[in-house]
Amino acid sequence: MPYRNKTTGEIITDQDYQSRFGVQQIEQPIQFEQPKSLLRKTGEFLGGITGVTGTAKGIMEAGKVAKGLVTGEEYAPQVAPKEFLGSVGKLGLTATTLGTGGIATGLAGRALESGIIGATYQALQNLEEKEKITKGLGTAAAIGGAIPVAGTALAGAKRLFGKGIQATGEKIQTSVIKPSKIDIADGFKVENINKYNLGGSLQSMAQKTEDKITQLASELSSKVKGTDAFIDVKQIARKTGKELLGDKSRLFGNIAGSKRAIQSLFDEINEISPTGLIDLTKAQLVKQAAGQKGAWVFGNADPDAKAVEKVYTAFYRNLRKEIEQKALPGVREINKQISELIPIQNAIIRRIPVAERANVIGLPELISLVGATVSPYSLSIILANKLAKSGKVGSALTKFGGELTEKAIPKTKIGERIFGR
């Protein structure tokens, strides 16, 4: 055990104490304070701010006073009644604040309520610490009132940040598909890609869209069984022909091709139904096939390709409207979903041949590869360019941004006071 020389302050051990002259043993050994653990420090901090520690001390002191009254021993309490009152008040205020929601709902009301709580807490703290009760009340009220304001601002910033990420993801997805004016006119919406969880590479989107349409078509088929709803596709084809050939000046240079495409449309209808009457299930299949036909010939070098695209796309739109009008409740909802998916499918069909050509290293990447021989940082241009064109990256960003925007902050009673309900 170590000892200290009272004259020189030198610390010696037990062995040295017996053999050296002039060294006196000190009354008690040197006590080395053990460092407090993080858990203990946290407990002391929380006990102090919540009033638990002060309340416990007051109760212990009250017990000692009561014991003295019984035994006749005099005991001077170490905690004054005002201090105890302050601790108990802090504990009660903490329990009420954590356990119950606020009275006010609007931001101004919540700020006022929180300011009152802050001032009340400070007054109780002053009692506990034997300070003037009005000390720091204004500052505490201002800090308390600012907490709901800051919480509301943080919640708003979270939503804005999420929307920004979601918009970036949607922009990438749009750049991957690059929908044409026809696709947009047919109802293409990038948000529907996320609505039906179709995100990914172009090929992945194509497969997911096809699977989803097949699933919905199967559901539709089971719902329309036994119904007497029929659609006259020949009548719709005639309507389409009149619309397109009504003003031949708009088809100049492609009039003969348009007539051939319309005749081809009637020939196909005769193959599936000589009368032109088909049920809703077959009408959905014809609608989907007509939309695909218009999409597949997009950009084709065939002289009649443009006419075929116009005729079949116009027929698709007219048939879609007719199905929407004839569809019964329950069927109408499924048809709406299919009608949201088909424009995505057609946009992908129009894009795939172009995308396949774009898979080769382009000029910006080629320049960056050459530059990388001098500076490896040039490779970042390739990486950034590829990420900005990746459907998977776009899908991930859109999902993350959507969840960040829509997912509410986990609510507790104290959370309602800070972030609102």
Q: Tens digit of pLDDT for each residue in 214-272?
A: 888 788 777 766 667 788 999 999 999 998 888 888 878 888 888 998 999 999 999 98
The pLDDT of residue 266: 92
Q: Mean pLDDT, consecutive 10-residue segments, the chain of 421 residues?
A: 60 58 50 69 76 80 74 74 80 78 78 83 82 85 82 76 74 76 82 84 83 83 72 92 85 85 91 89 84 72 78 88 79 83 82 53 44 47 49 62 63 67 61
Alpha helix locations (H) across 10-136? 14-19, 38-50, 52-71, 81-99, 107-128
Share of the chain above pLDDT 70, in %: 73
Q: Tens digit of pLDDT for each residue in 263-307?
A: 999 999 999 899 999 988 888 888 888 888 877 766 665 777 888
Residue with tokens 């920004």: 164
Give dist(CA 82, CA 415) in Å, integer: 32
**pTM of the predicted structure, to 2 decimals:** 0.49
Residues 6+ apart with CB under 8 A from 115: 141, 142, 144, 145
CA angle 120, 122, 125 (to 5 degrees): 115
